[in-house]
C-alpha cells in the first residue's frame, strides 16, 4: 500500500519538544550529508555502490560510538538512508528529471522523516490532534482536515512560520469516471500566470504579499545587509542575536509568500481539473527555460540581468509544479492531461494554422495573423493552439502528425466571438 495523498498540519511543540526537534533536524541533515559523502567516496575509491541496508547496519554500530547521533531516533535515521536510496534511483532513472543527490545546507528547512509504523495519531477534539513520535512523545497539531486513510510515513519539518507535520496517506480513493466536461488548452505564461482557451480573461497570480508586507520585507533586507556589514567589521563575521532575529523575520515573510503561492496553484489546478474533460498544456522543460544566462568566462552570456528577472517570475509561476498537480488531479477528477509539443505555439495562428514570426510583431501582447488577419491576445491565441493540438492527439499519441490547416477550425464557433481586435497591452 503506497501513500497516494499528502496531508500537512501546523504542529505546536512544547518548549522542550521544540529544542529536541531542532537538534534532531540538524542531526538529520548531518546524517544525510555524511551518508552521501560515504557513498560518493566508496564509489570513487572502490567502485562500490552502497545502499541503505548496509548503511543502516553501520548506523546501528555508529550509534554506540558517536554521541551526536545517539539520541536521534533509529527509525528516522533508517528512513533518511532509504530516502537517499530513492534519490539515487531517481537520478539513475532516465524518465525522471532528478539531478544527483545534493548535500543539505544549514539554511535549508529542517525536516525529520519517520516511517508510518513508528508513529501513532489520535484525535483530541474537533480541532486538535496528536501524533506520537519515537523518543519525543505526543506532539500536538492543528487538525485542519481529516487524515482520511492509513499513514504510511510522517515528516516533521520547520520553515520560517514554524513547525509542521505531514503524513503520506494511503486513501485508496478510486479515480472518478470521465467527467464529460469541455476540453481546454492552457498557456502558462510570465505576464499572465495562466490563460485558459475557454475564458476571455487571463488568470493572474494575486499579489502574494500585501503592500505593507513588501515594504517590511525590503526594510528587513536592508537591515540584514547593515547588520552583516557590522558583523564582518566588529565580530569577525560571527552572527549576533539581532542578526539572527532579522533573518528569522525575513524567513517568516518569505515562507508566508511561498504558502500563498502554493495555495493559488492548488486552487487553479483543482479548478481546471474539475471543470474540463481534457486539458492541453505545453510540454516545456522548465529547467532549460530558466537556465542561467551567465555563460562562461570565455563566452559571457547576454542579458544576464533581464534573464534573472525572467527566471524569478517563471519560478514564481511554477509551471513544473502545476504540471505535477494537474497530472494527479486530472486523474482523480475524471479528466485527461495532454502535454503537446511546444514548438511555435506563440507564432501559430489558431484559426488558419500558419506559422509566421511576422504574426507576433515586436514583443506586444497582440497576435495578428499575417495571412488571414486573425487578431487575438497572444496568450489566448497560444492557448487555443494548445487546445487544438491536444484535441488532435486526444490524450493518446502526443507526436501524431499535424492535420491540414482547413480541418483545424473547431466547429463550435467559439473562435468567432473573439475576433474583435483587442487593445495592445504593453506590460
Contact flag: residue 372 with Zn ion (CB under 5 A): yes
Contact flag: residue 374 with Zn ion (CB under 5 A): yes
Give me the least distance between CB of 373 and Zn ion, in Å please. 7
Give me the least distance between CB of 370 and Zn ion, in Å please. 8
Contact flag: residue 255 with Zn ion (CB under 5 A): no
Residues 314-353 touching Zn ion, rule: CB under 5 A, are 349, 351-352
Compute the Cα dihedral for 285, 290, 296, 300 and give only its sign: positive
Contact flag: residue 408 with Zn ion (CB under 5 A): no
Cell (9 digits) for 316 = 514564481
Judged by beta carbon, residue 82 or residue 347, the one nearer Zn ion is: 347
What is the DSSP pairing of strand 150-159 with strand 183-187?
unpaired
Active site residue 187: yes
Judged by beta carbon, residue 48 or residue 361, the one nearer Zn ion is: 361
Active site residue 282: yes
Judged by beta carbon, residue 67 or residue 406, the one nearer Zn ion is: 406
Contact flag: residue 243 with Zn ion (CB under 5 A): no
Contact flag: residue 191 with Zn ion (CB under 5 A): no
Selected catalytic residue, list 187, 376, 385, 387: 187
Selected catalytic residue, list 159, 376, 377, 379: 379
Active site residue 159: no
Give me the least distance between CB of 374 and Zn ion, in Å please. 4
Contact flag: residue 369 with Zn ion (CB under 5 A): yes
Selected catalytic residue, list 282, 377, 385, 387: 282
* Residue span binding Zn ion (CB under 5 A) among the ranges 8-16, 180-188, 369-377, 396-404: 369-377
Judged by beta carbon, residue 351 or residue 365, the one nearer Zn ion is: 351
Give me the least distance between CB of 343 and Zn ion, in Å please. 17
Give me the least distance between CB of 347 and Zn ion, in Å please. 11
* Residue span binding Zn ion (CB under 5 A) among the ranges 43-51, 164-172, 327-335, 367-375: 367-375
Count the Cβ atoms, other than its own, within 10 Å of residue 141. Answer: 23
| Interface residues toward Zn ion, by CB under 5 A | 349, 351-352, 369, 371-372, 374
Positions marked catalytic: 187, 282, 379
Amino acid at each position: 500500500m503506497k501513500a497516494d495523498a499528502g496531508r500537512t498540519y501546523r504542529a505546536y511543540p512544547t518548549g522542550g519538544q521544540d529544542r529536541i526537534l531542532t537538534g534532531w533536524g540538524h542531526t538529520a541533515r548531518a546524517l544525510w550529508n555524511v551518508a552521501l559523502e560515504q557513498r560518493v567516496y566508496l564509489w570513487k575509491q572502490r567502485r562500490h555502490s552502497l545502499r541503505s541496508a548496509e548503511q543502516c547496519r553501520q548506523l546501528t554500530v555508529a550509534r554506540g560510538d558517536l554521541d551526536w547521533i545517539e539520541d536521534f531516533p533509529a527509525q528516522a535515521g533508517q528512513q533518511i538512508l532509504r530516502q537517499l536510496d530513492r534519490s539515487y534511483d531517481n537520478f539513475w532513472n532516465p524518465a525522471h528529471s532528478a539531478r544527483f543527490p545534493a548535500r543539505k545546507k544549514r539554511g535549508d528547512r529542517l525536516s525529520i522523516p519517520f516511517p508510518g509504523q513508528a508513529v501513532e495519531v489520535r484525535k483530541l477534539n474537533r480541532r486538535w490532534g496528536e501524533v506520537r513520535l519515537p523518543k519525543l512523545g505526543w506532539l500536538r497539531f492543528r487538525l485542519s482536515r481529516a487524515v482520511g486513510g492509513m499513514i504510511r510515513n510522517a515528516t516533521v519539518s520547520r520553515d520560517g512560520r514554524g513547525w509542521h507535520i505531514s503524513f503520506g496517506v494511503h486513501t485508496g480513493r478510486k479515480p472518478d469516471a470521465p467527467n464529460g466536461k469541455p476540453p481546454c488548452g492552457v498557456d502558462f505564461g510570465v505576464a499572465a500566470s495562466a490563460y485558459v482557451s475557454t475564458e476571455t480573461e487571463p488568470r493572474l497570480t494575486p499579489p502574494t504579499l500585501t503592500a505593507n508586507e513588501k515594504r517590511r520585507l525590503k526594510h528587513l533586507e536592508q537591515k540584514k545587509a547593515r547588520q552583516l556589514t557590522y558583523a564582518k567589521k566588529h565580530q569577525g563575521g560571527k552572527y549576533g542575536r539581532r542578526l539572527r532575529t532579522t533573518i528569522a523575520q525575513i524567513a517568516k515573510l518569505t515562507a508566508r509568500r511561498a504558502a500563498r503561492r502554493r495555495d493559488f496553484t492548488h486552487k487553479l489546478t483543482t479548478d481546471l481539473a474539475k471543470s474540463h474533460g481534457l486539458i492541453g498544456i505545453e510540454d516545456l522543460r522548465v529547467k532549460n527555460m530558466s537556465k542561467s544566462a551567465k555563460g562562461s568566462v570565455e563566452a559571457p552570456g547576454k542579458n544576464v540581468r533581464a534573464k534573472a528577472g525572467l527566471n524569478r517570475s517563471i519560478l514564481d509561476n511554477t509551471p513544473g509544479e502545476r504540471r505535477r498537480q494537474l497530472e494527479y488531479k486530472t486523474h482523480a477528477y475524471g479528466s485527461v492531461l495532454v502535454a503537446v509539443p511546444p514548438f511555435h505555439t506563440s507564432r501559430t495562428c489558431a484559426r488558419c494554422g500558419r506559422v509566421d514570426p511576422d504574426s507576433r510583431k515586436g514583443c506586444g501582447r497582440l497576435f495578428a495573423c499575417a495571412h488571414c488577419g486573425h487578431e487575438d491576445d497572444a496568450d489566448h491565441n497560444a492557448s487555443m493552439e494548445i487546445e487544438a493540438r491536444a484535441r488532435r492527439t486526444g490524450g493518446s499519441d502526443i507526436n501524431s502528425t499535424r492535420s491540414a490547416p482547413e480541418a483545424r477550425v473547431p466547429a463550435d464557433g467559439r473562435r468567432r466571438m473573439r475576433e474583435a481586435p483587442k487593445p495592445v497591452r504593453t506590460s
